Amino acid sequence: MMRIFTTFFKHKLQACGTIATIACSVLSLMLTVSTACQAQTTRSFCSDIHTPQINIAGAWNSLPILTIKGNQQVEISFDDLGEEPQRYYYRIEHCDAHFRPTENLFESAYLQATDAAQLLEDYEPSRNTTVNYYHYNFKLPNADMKMLISGNYRITIERDDDERTPIIETYLMVLDAKTSVKATVTTNTDIDWNQQHQQLTIEVEHSRLNLHNPQQQIQCVVLKNRDWKSAVWLSAPAYSTGNSVKWMHTKELIFKAGNEWRKFENLSTSEASLHTESIAWNPELNLYEANLYVDEPRKNYLFDKDHNGAFYIRNIDGYDNNTESEYINVHFTLNTPQRLNNNIYVTGAWATSNNRETYRMRYNAESNAYEANILLKQGYYNYYYYSEADDIEGNFYETENEYTILVYATQPNMRYTQLVGMGQIKSGK
């Protein structure tokens, strides 16, 4: 069953109706065995749902963090590759620092809403594309739904069927800034000096909070390049002095430096763009195919301006990026001298399918290379080759990384975890 729904080409024959619904139901059952800490990443659970995104409205490369009294909104969008538009609803839950639903908290305490589940009414069909889809879009907060308190929120988008099948889970955060965060990053780490790692020191000033035991009531989460999949939840701070707590010489704050992200663009169906060797129409598959230049495992650091895994949907053939961008079958090739012992995946912020097989590369013995075909909407993409055991991209202390520190607190007489601080710092060039 899982194999049936991992590729777009078979989906084209069975996209809508009963089979697609069964596929979503099977995938939704997998949620029961997912760990709680996975919920903070944007995930899609159905093979006909593509390109889910959540950003601050007007800022394509941003964490979805709103301030408690601000006037900004987050924008959530996705594409449904079915033949007919579907009815979808979205709902919101308040969560703790680990994105587990907050217990013993009435919905009215954290949400002002006309209904617990809101109908998603804003959608448009694609125009002048060979792969047809419907583009859905909504913003939060809005006239029908507003978050009332700080903290983490999980957003679930559901299909209007008998099971209310979840198709997407994503997240946002509401910040009530009551702390200040100071951070430094160094390549002179407790493991090595100017080699493969980067290390952070973090100090949180909390005089505006009513805390009896700051070392137990404050939690810190550190994100590298806005990636929740590798988030670090810090243990108790090493030092507590007066109105501040500090983490220094902390093993959890030593990060592999990695390398700069690879990148490519597919902006036109008539000519190749950045790092794309060729693009052509495939009549057998009834879609466009793009071949990226062959990549090699990287043994050295080479500075290249990237966006730390982000992607941006756009095209130069039409007027509307959201509804006139084509879906293209993108062919990735990683040349290796021999087959590795572990699976290799292509990854980035765009890799949102809950089925990891979508991004797994297959080894081609004839060409001595790993290959993957992934259906992607036209645009600019950062990508990375990932293996659980092999450092394909290498680790170099010069790499530019962005670290985000999120500070959570549980104060006396409060039944929920607040997001009370945020800091950011960059390493490298």
Instruction: Determine which helix (DSSP H) or strand (DSSP E) holds 322, and give its type and residue range.
Output: helix 321-324
Fold for the domain defined by 180-258+397-426? Immunoglobulin-like (2.60.40)
The tokens for 195 are: 């080699």
Of 330, 301, 328, the C-alpha closest to 315 is 328
Please give the pLDDT value at position 428: 79
Q: What would the two tokens of residue 140 be?
A: 């939060």
Domain edges within the chain: 3-175, 180-258+397-426, 262-387
Q: Is the pLDDT of residue 195 over 60?
A: yes
Tens of pLDDT, residue by residue over 69-126, are: 999 999 999 999 998 999 999 999 999 999 999 998 999 999 999 999 999 999 999 9
Determine the Cα–Cα distance for residues 82 and 86; give it in Å rounded to an integer.
Answer: 8
Give the C-alpha distances (Å, rounded to integers) separating 380 from 34, 157, 208.
Answer: 30, 26, 43
pTM for the model? 0.90
Q: For 273-306, what is each residue's pLDDT tens digit?
A: 999 999 999 999 999 999 999 999 998 998 989 9
Give the pLDDT confidence score for residue 391 in this predicted structure. Answer: 86
Cα torsion through 183, 400, 231, 137, rounded to 10: 110
> Is residue 30's pLDDT more than 60?
no
Q: Is the pLDDT of residue 1 over 60?
A: no
Task: Determine contact, residues 72/63, Cβ cutoff 8 Å.
Answer: no
Taking the C-alpha atoms of residue 43 and residue 273, their distance in angstroms, rounded to an integer, is 28
Q: Judge if 3-175 and 180-258+397-426 fold alike in CATH terms.
A: yes
Q: What pLDDT band is residue 33 in, cutting at 50, 70 and 90?
A: very low
pLDDT tens per residue, range 117-163? 999 999 999 999 999 999 999 999 999 999 999 999 999 999 999 88
Q: Count CA atoms within 13 Å of residue 327 on its CB side.
A: 24
The residue that leads in pLDDT, 370 or 341, is 370
**Per-residue model confidence as pLDDT tens digits over 332-347:** 999 998 888 899 999 9
In whole angstroms, what is the distance from residue 256 CA to residue 236 CA?
22
Please state which CATH class domain 3-175 belongs to. mainly beta
pLDDT band at 230 (very low <50, low <70, confident <90, very high): confident
